[in-house]
Structure 1
Amino acid sequence: MLTALLVVTGCSAARHVTEADRLQAQAAYEQAVAALARREWATALTILRRVTALDPDVPVYRNALGLSLLQLGQPHLALVEFQRAVEIDPGYAEGHLNTGIALAEQGRFAEAVAAYTKAIALPRLTAPDTAHVNLGVALLNLGRLPEAEGSLRFALSLDPQLAAAWYHLGMVLVASERRDEAKDAFRKARELAPGSPFGQAAAERLKALGEGG
């Protein structure tokens, strides 16, 4: 499970757009952000299609459109929007991060690693812990276990309360045949978020490793 990011500031100037169009797009975008916050993905998608038609060259609008598509299970279409966002603004870190997520959801893990690495290198990245977790997951899927472990441990150095990082670290340690360390990581994930998907999955992994409860 990966985490996509929506950042609602930092719009760049659009091209070939009237001031009226720009103002209308900004107002509609605020409505879309509210819909995303309510998890009304289809509503947000409808609004954001109108927003990007009015003002097509604003990276955060493209990013938000991609996010709604991602949540609706269309990573291939989301990828187009995220890539457009970073084409408009190559320094848009969240666009690179979400590009990586859309690629990973299509099983394109090597390309996802490249996108995450770009995001991490940019100073405007607002959630480096999330980026490092997602990078670690992609590296795990590629079998690059030492690098995956390093990325996940770095994420935990930024935020030790990340259940997702502890869970995936446990998976890396299982694959590395370090069962006792894996159990410790799964226990931590379960302790931090027992009712979450990661906490529940960690509990199942612990059972598979011979630990009850």
Structure 2
Amino acid sequence: MKKPCILAGLCLAIGTASVFTWTQPSLSLDPIKVALQSSENLQQAEVHNNQGVELAEQGRLAEAIAAFNRAISVYPEYENAHNNLGLALGNQNKFAEAIAAFNHAIEINPRNFETYNNLGIALGSQGKFAEAIAAFNRAIQINPNDPVSRQNLGVAFWSQGKVSQAVASLQRARELYAMQNNSAGMEEVGVILNQISLPAD
């Protein structure tokens, strides 16, 4: 079984062939919103968060997790730190803890479709495919044009043996990747569709 990739936005395999794709709602060094920059605690939390990002990029996940937790302790409402914590935990296969982190981020901002996508991956990684499907569907409700959530929804359907629904979702994901001129995404979905069509061993 492949392991999830926190930085490359690559894939997490479920079973032998299924592929989920993580998204990165906040794994970046982008500045915080201007309206919030007056908060000394938030600025301090951003410093810890950015340290965590840098550590994660170096593969130092335990230290990154500690940095994200420091950010959260300074400013508990800092959505980025909760998201990044969930990604780092997911990359360590600590999916129950990742789910908790993503749920905290959703409590802070229930409109971030990427958080629902990552929550769905963590749920699917525990075999909770019905809950994962609900999370991916919520991501799609918020942003119908996101191919990653459609791709992951297809993988979750496939993992449940719902082949026709899987194929429909994956084909839509491929169309959306094509609209974005994302050849890597199109190719990835094509690989999954080919695996679905292969006869079982």
What are the Cα deviations for residues 70-89 of structure 1, in whole angstroms up to 9, with x where unaligned? 00110011000101111221
Alignment of structure 1 residues 19-58 onto 2, 5 Å: 19-58=39-78
Letter of the aligned partner of 1:141 in structure 2?
S
Give the % identical residues.
Answer: 28
2:92 aligned with 1:72: yes
Say whether the 8 Å CA contact 1:69–1:78 is kept in structure 2: yes
Tell me which structure has the larger Cα radius of gyration: 1
2:173: which partner in 1? 155
Letter of the aligned partner of 2:174 in structure 1?
L
CA distance in 1, matches of 2:32, 2:197: 41
Q: Give the aligned length.
A: 171
CA RMSD of aligned residues (A): 2.4
Would the alpha carbon gap of residues 122 and 73 (structure 1) be closer, same or farther in structure 2, given more than 3 Å must change? Answer: same
2:23 aligned with 1:5: yes
State the 1:3 CA deviation: 2.3
Would the alpha carbon gap of residues 136 and 11 (structure 1) be closer, same or farther in structure 2, given more than 3 Å must change? Answer: farther
Q: Secondary structure at the match of 2:157?
A: helix
2:197: which partner in 1? 173
State the 1:158 CA deviation: 2.2
Say whether the 8 Å CA contact 1:100–1:116 is kept in structure 2: yes
Say whether the 8 Å CA contact 2:157–2:166 is kept in structure 1: yes
2:123 aligned with 1:103: yes
TM-score (norm 1): 0.72
Q: Secondary structure at the match of 1:112?
A: helix
Say whether the 8 Å CA contact 1:63–1:95 is kept in structure 2: yes
Which runs of no fewer than 5 residues in structure 2 stay unpaired?
A: 1-11, 13-19, 178-182
1:85: which partner in 2? 105
What are the Cα deviations for residues 7-47 of structure 1, in whole angstroms up to 9, with x where unaligned? 2369689xxxx933221101111111222233322221110
Say whether the 8 Å CA contact 1:10–1:60 is kept in structure 2: no
1:141: which partner in 2? 159
Say whether the 8 Å CA contact 1:11–1:58 is kept in structure 2: no
State the 1:147 CA deviation: 1.0
TM-score (norm 2): 0.76
Would the alpha carbon gap of residues 131 and 39 (structure 1) be closer, same or farther in structure 2, given more than 3 Å must change? Answer: farther
